[in-house]
Amino acid sequence: MPFQAALQNARDYVEITLMHKLIGLSGPLPEAMLYATKGGKGLRGFLVLESARIHGIYGSAAGPAAAAIEALHAYSLIHDDLPCMDDDDLRRGQPTVHRKWDEATAVLAGDALQALAFELVSMTDCPYEQRWLLTSTLATAAGARGMVGGQVADIAAETAATALNLDQIIALQVGKTGALITWSAMAGPRMAGAETHAMQSYGDCLGLAFQIADDILDVTGDVEKAGKRLQKDAAAGKATFVSLLGLDAARARAKSLVEQACDHIAPYGASAQNLIDCARFTIARES
């Protein structure tokens, strides 16, 4: 299945899985939860399914883990958009959850999606040891040593007396953006009980390239295509890859990281073509 078709298939699979888990619930909470998971690229869920496929694990066996990471990602976006964080009105071209409903519903929808993520990952069809590893590593990637820790550092950077240097930004983004992407790439070999080094290296490079591309889009992107507010980092006076490296050097850095990512998975041969295409898509996207 070509990359774009596989990406769409992953989005569809995740959406159906999440809808099924929320059957029987009514009111604004499940509506807000589903609303927050729609309209995205579905990149993390795709990485779970593809990394599983190249390790001999197909379809429904890896599906719960793919839905789990997308639920967790959606929770992070809901909370990231809140007035106490980035105070955004637009996400994926639609009003943010707290604008469409209210702040309390947004907080609780995010909380519920986070809980659902761990329910789902614990349902992954693999031996107990591998399932336990998936769950525990997801908790680490999502928490103070990963995404949340990176978000804390990002908020602190907004009011720091001295702007972050390049190494500090890389360390921040390894948590904030990279941790969930790397977890997704490693999900397949973890399910299979296989060696994880190649997929971890691929995920690390991909996550950093993704963030550099985001920084570039924040400067050069089109609001309608991006579906969110742009140029907010410059307005906040935050150091970014673009502000420190310059636009051309940032693009070159992202391209180099993508090539490194592809090199890391070269041993998988033709079966990894969709992952190679995914890496290239990461820096070619418009949103």
pLDDT one-digit tens code per residue, 65-101 = 999 999 999 999 999 999 999 999 999 989 999 999 9
CB 281 within 8 A of CB 228: no
CATH number at residue 257: 1.10.600.10
Q: What is the pLDDT of residue 29?
A: 98
Q: What pLDDT, on the 0 to 100 scale, is given for residue 1? A: 85
Residue 174 CA to residue 117 CA, distance in Å, equals: 21
Q: What is the extent of the structural domain holding 86?
A: 3-284
Residue 162 pLDDT: 86
Total of domains in the chain: 1
Alpha-carbon span 277 to 185, nearest angstrom: 14
**What pLDDT is stored for residue 236 in this prediction?**
65
What pLDDT is attached to residue 235? 61
pLDDT of residue 12: 95
Q: Which residues contact 1 (CB under 8 A, 6 or more apart)?
A: 9, 274
**Predicted model pTM:** 0.95
Which stretches of the chain drop beneath a pLDDT of 50? none
Given this model, what pLDDT does residue 230 score? 67
Query: For position 226, what pLDDT does the model report?
Result: 63
How high is the pLDDT of residue 234?
63
pLDDT at position 220 is 86
